[in-house]
Amino acid sequence: MNKPLCLYGHEFSSRLLLGTAAYPSLDVLQQAVAAAQPAMLTVSLRRQGAVDSAHGQGVWALLQGLGLPILPNTAGCLSVQEAITTAQMAREVFECDWIKLELIGDDDTLQPDVFQLVEAADVLIKDGFKVLPYCTEDLIACRRLLDVGCTALMPWAAPIGTGLGVVHEYALRVLRERLPKTPLIIDAGLGLPSQAAQVMEWGFDAVLLNTAVSRSGNPVAMAQAFAQAVVAGRLAYGAQPMPPRRAAQASTPTVGQPFWHSAEY
């Protein structure tokens, strides 16, 4: 229960990963990070404009000052070559061989294209990247990602930015059961701390958040709430929750009760 999160041989004290996009200001982002104390911070080369824009340079300077591990992502990529090129650029800009691999297959749901995802992951792993693929809860697709060398996966709970929580509970729980030794990080779709606690109670290893924190009314308080929920969920999982029952079972013992109801009544 007390083992740290381990990804590609690296240990992290927190089981919360936090995105850095869409915060009201850099000051709010900094405070939210301080409140959450995440294992890693995700950043998009495209959206932050780390090279070209003043805003992007401000974000990058802030991230460097925080001293936390950076997880660049390939957000917005629609093809294998586009994702590979973006990952390689991110490695140069952020001086980091970690990559959250995103390859989108549908504009409306932002659902990952699992076919191209496997192909891109294969190339990037051979190029020395530590790949964390943003994928669906499909067991077979996840196995293919493991086959090409991914050692951790990031299945979605629901489409990005929806805050719906877990849409396909059965599939996610089967995924957790069938891949017991693979670190699984729930990425996308969570909206409430209770939803984060729930997936952690099921045995998932971590959660990644962005919109649920940055678009909330108080990102700093919400970051803290999610951080506490992740810890609570992990503790509950390790404590081995009681199995659910259909019939009621009294929690108060009857032995030693001073009075008994008569059968007449």
Q: Is 188 annotated as a binding residue?
A: yes
**Closest by Cα among 66, 74, 6, 72 to 34:** 66
* 183-239 pLDDT tens trace: 999 999 999 999 999 999 999 999 999 999 999 999 999 999 999 999 999 999 999
Going by pLDDT thresholds of 50, 70 and 90, the confidence category of residue 48 is very low
Q: What is the average per-residue pLDDT within 85-110?
A: 92
The reply to whether 130 belongs to the active site is no
Which of 70-74, 156-160, 260-264 has the lowest average pLDDT?
260-264
Q: Mean pLDDT lowest for which of 1-10, 109-118, 181-190, 217-226?
A: 1-10
pLDDT over 90 (residue 85): yes
* Overall average pLDDT of the 69-98 stretch: 94
Neighbour-count burial of 67, counting CB atoms closer than 10 A to its CB (0-12 exposed, 13-18 middle, 19+ buried):
exposed
Q: pTM (2 decimals)?
A: 0.88
Q: Which of 100, 126, 130, 181 is catalytic?
A: 100
pLDDT above 70 coverage of the chain, percent: 90
Q: How many CB atoms lie within 10 A of CB 143?
A: 15
Residue 52 has pLDDT above 50, yes or no: no
Closest Cα partner for 120 from 102, 141, 96, 93?
102
Choose from 99-108, 138-147, 236-245 the range with maximum mean pLDDT.
138-147
Query: Is 211 marked as a binding-site residue?
Result: yes
Bridge partners of 17, per DSSP, are 40, 208
- For residue 54, what pLDDT is reported? 44
**pLDDT attached to residue 250:** 76
Mean pLDDT across the chain = 90
| Measured distance CA(62)–CA(41) in Å, rounded | 11
Q: Is 161 annotated as a binding residue?
A: yes
The answer on pLDDT for 254 being more than 80 is no
Tens of pLDDT, residues 174-192: 999 999 999 999 999 999 9
Burial 81-120 (b: 16+ CB within 10 A, else e): eebbebbebbbebbebbbbbbbbbeeeeebbbbbebbbbb
Select from 144, 91, 90 the least CA-distant residue to 120: 144
